[in-house]
Chains A and B, each alone.
Chain A
Amino acid sequence: NAGVTQTPKFQVLKTGQSMTLQCAQDMNHEYMSWYRQDPGMGLRLIHYSVGAGITDQGEVPNGYNVSRSTTEDFPLRLLSAAPSQTSVYFCASSYEGQFTGELFFGEGSRLTVL
């Protein structure tokens, strides 16, 4: 099993550009989520999904869009990148749909917006 796979690992964007961060898991997990990590602020939830076709907003959803068409994939779209979105992004999944299981994290995607 590959676990949770994120691509790309590094990306540089210009202000106003759009892009998609990819996340795939091969553990048949129902729950998937996106976090951003900034120095001194821990991990903040952007969006999450409890199954295919179901998504919901987290703590910091503005400027991001998600969809969940399959159990395996949960892409994160930046609609119009801003310097404030410079961060490290982590995708995470869990096998327990009721949010009580451990989260398995991908290796992260480091995004810089100029």
Chain B
Amino acid sequence: GQQVMQIPQYQHVQEGEDFTTYCNSSTTLSNIQWYKQRPGGHPVFLIQLVKSGEVKKQKRLTFQFGEAKKNSSLHITATQTTDVGTYFCAGLPSGGGTSYGKLTFGQGTILTVHP
């Protein structure tokens, strides 16, 4: 079945440093979504990428979707303590078959920010 690998599993940064998490799929994706989960909270949708090579920005967050639609990244510029949490990617496989319509989540990257 489809696998979505996310690295790193943990990232510790000083406030003001940049942060990047990477997501790689074993199969081509129809789209990819990113979620943030604050400690003790529930995942909250951040963004969805659909097009090959797509780049989207939300303030200090930059999201990219690879040309082959098999990988994606989330980059945070100048982290703040409010960025603390777990960031998940979730890929939707393209095409039909048994995996169609089953969004697969990566393992998540736990970000801690030291003030």
Contacts and interface: CB of A to CB of B under 8 A. Distances in A.
B6 A42 contact: yes
Given A59-B1, A100-B31, A103-B103, A42 B48 contact: no
A105 B44 contact: yes
A74 interface: no
Main secondary structure of the interface of B (DSSP, over half): strand
15 contacts: A35-B105, A40-B107, A41-B107, A43-B88, A43-B90, A58-B102, A98-B101, A100-B30, A100-B48, A102-B33, A102-B45, A103-B33, A103-B103, A105-B43, A105-B44
Given A99-B92, A102-B33, A45 B102 contact: yes
B54 to A, nearest CB: 14
In the complex, which range does the number of interface residues on chain B fall in? Answer: 20 to 34
B28 interface: no
Main secondary structure of the interface of A (DSSP, over half): loop
Interface of B: 1, 4, 6, 9, 30-31, 33, 35, 41-45, 48, 88, 90, 92, 101-108
A102 B42 contact: no
